[in-house]
Amino acid sequence: IKNIGVFTSGGDAPGMNAAIRAVVRSATYYGIEVTGIRRGYEGMINGEFFTMDRKSVSNIIQRGGTILKTARSEQFKTTEGRRLAYDQLKKHNVDALVAIGGDGTFTGARIFGTEYDIPVVGLPGTIDNDLLGTDFTIGYDTAINTVIDAVDKIRDTAESHDRVFIVEVMGRDSGLIALRTGIASGAEAIVIPESKTNIDALCERLEHGRKDKLSKIVIVAEGDDAGGAFEIGRHVKERFPHYDTRVSILGHIQRGGRPSCQDRVLASRVGVAAVEALRDGHRNEMIGVIHNEISYTPFEHACKHNVEINPNFLKIVEILAI
């Protein structure tokens, strides 16, 4: 391998820059050239390529977002779009790829890797932590710390005014952000898609919870079937008119900010491992960390939408809300 192309795709996540840095620096260490590709698959199709060297990634390890920018590309979902992308890679002499993103990114990479003879490996870059084949994804730790900082602040005002706060956190298909932050912020209840908590069960929890404490925090994952935080808030208001109930959507602040130490270390480890994996002939795999060891998971397994939640976590919330 002489020239590795690196890009970020799908939703951005804190720590993506640390991953880009690790790929560029380790490739340079092994005498391999690096081509940066801007705006994910869309930029690949449009030929947004530039040469990167060790200096291109100076002073970015601490920065959120991605210096390569990211995009969603409908064109890449078509065979013609992928053909255009391949032609651009050939034109720029790119002979291997490191894709940094989530399940959509890896689905695209898997299809591309079967159509064309270009080895692709992936790094798990998403705040959602919804990939198999790694204990944690790059960005998740930073995002959950941002959430608990925000909920701590909400708790101050909830406590002062005796209010019930329904706080919505990110996770379109997964309650993993809600699950951990619910425990860490001392929430009364967590509503996540995986547990099929219905509104009645939640209301029951609120009804039978502590009577002496009027301020309560409920953490809701945005993808929950119960209809999102506003819908839940509406029901809670109806059922408990004596509660002063408010809804707070944390939104995009969860995607930004300086990556945590854990995310920087994870990104650095898997970034180096990705370059080494390409040198060793790996392809069509996501590089993750399981039990503190580097792991290699075929894209089709990494993307399966059945990352299991630990049911004990929900029980912990119930026990500790007593």
CB of 184 to ligand ATP, least distance (A): 22
Ligand-binding site membership of 215 (annotated): yes
Q: Is 255 annotated as a binding residue?
A: yes
Partnered with residue 190 across adjacent β-strands are: 219
Q: Which of 53, 95, 117, 128 is catalytic?
A: 128
Report residue 139: phi and psi, to 5°. Answer: 110, -25
CA distance 132 to 129: 9
Query: For strand 244-249 and strand 293-298, is the pairing parallel, antiparallel, or unpaired?
Result: unpaired
For residue 111, which of 280, 284, 268, 318 has the smallest C-alpha distance? 284
Chosen residue from 5, 14, 65, 104 binding ligand ATP by CB under 6 A: 104
- How many residues contact ligand ATP, by CB under 6 A? 18
Token couple for 38: 């801007």
Segment contacting ligand ATP by CB under 6 A, of 72-80, 114-122, 209-217, 219-227: 72-80
186 is in an annotated binding site: yes
280 belongs to the catalytic site: no
- Between residues 126 and 268, which has the closer beta carbon with respect to ligand ATP? 126
Please report which helix (H) or strand (E) contains residue 4, including its range.
strand 3-8
List 36, 101, 175, 228, residue binding ligand ATP (CB under 6 A): 101
Shortest-Cβ-distance residue relative to ligand ATP: 104
Phi/psi of residue 33, nearest 5 degrees = -80, 155
Residues 235-274, interacting with ligand ATP (CB under 6 A)? none
Asked if residues 105 and 123 have their Cβ atoms less than 8 Å apart, the reply is no
CB atoms inside a 10 Å sphere around CB 111: 15
The binder of ligand ATP chosen from 14, 15, 36, 102 (CB under 6 A): 102
Judged by CB under 6 A, does residue 69 bind ligand ATP? no
Backbone angles phi, psi at 74, to 5 degrees: -70, -35
Q: Is 267 annotated as a binding residue?
A: no
Cα 49 to Cα 203: distance, rounded to the nearest angstrom: 54
Question: Which one, 170 or 317, has the nearer CB to ligand ATP?
Answer: 170
Query: Does position 124 bind ligand ATP by CB under 6 A?
Result: no
The piece of 23-31, 101-109, 146-154, 160-168 that touches ligand ATP (CB under 6 A) is 101-109
Candidate residues 5, 14, 15, 108; the one interacting with ligand ATP per rule CB under 6 A = 108
Element containing residue 314 per DSSP (H, E)? helix 311-320
Stretch that binds ligand ATP, among 4-12, 54-62, 90-98, 217-225 (CB under 6 A): 4-12
Q: Is 188 annotated as a binding residue?
A: yes
Residue 172 is assigned to a ligand binding site: yes
Among 7, 49, 76, 136, binds ligand ATP (CB under 6 A): 76
Strand order in the sheet with 216-221: 189-191, 216-221, 163-169, 244-249
For ligand ATP, the binding residues in 126-185 under the rule CB under 6 A are 126, 128
CA atoms within 13 A of residue 106's CA, in its CB half-sphere: 28
Cα-based distances in Å from 169 to 12, 28, 133 = 16, 39, 24
Which residues contact ligand ATP (rule: CB under 6 A)? 9-11, 41, 72-73, 76-77, 101-105, 107-108, 111, 126, 128
The catalytic site residues sit at: 128
Known binding-site residue numbers for Mg(2+):
103
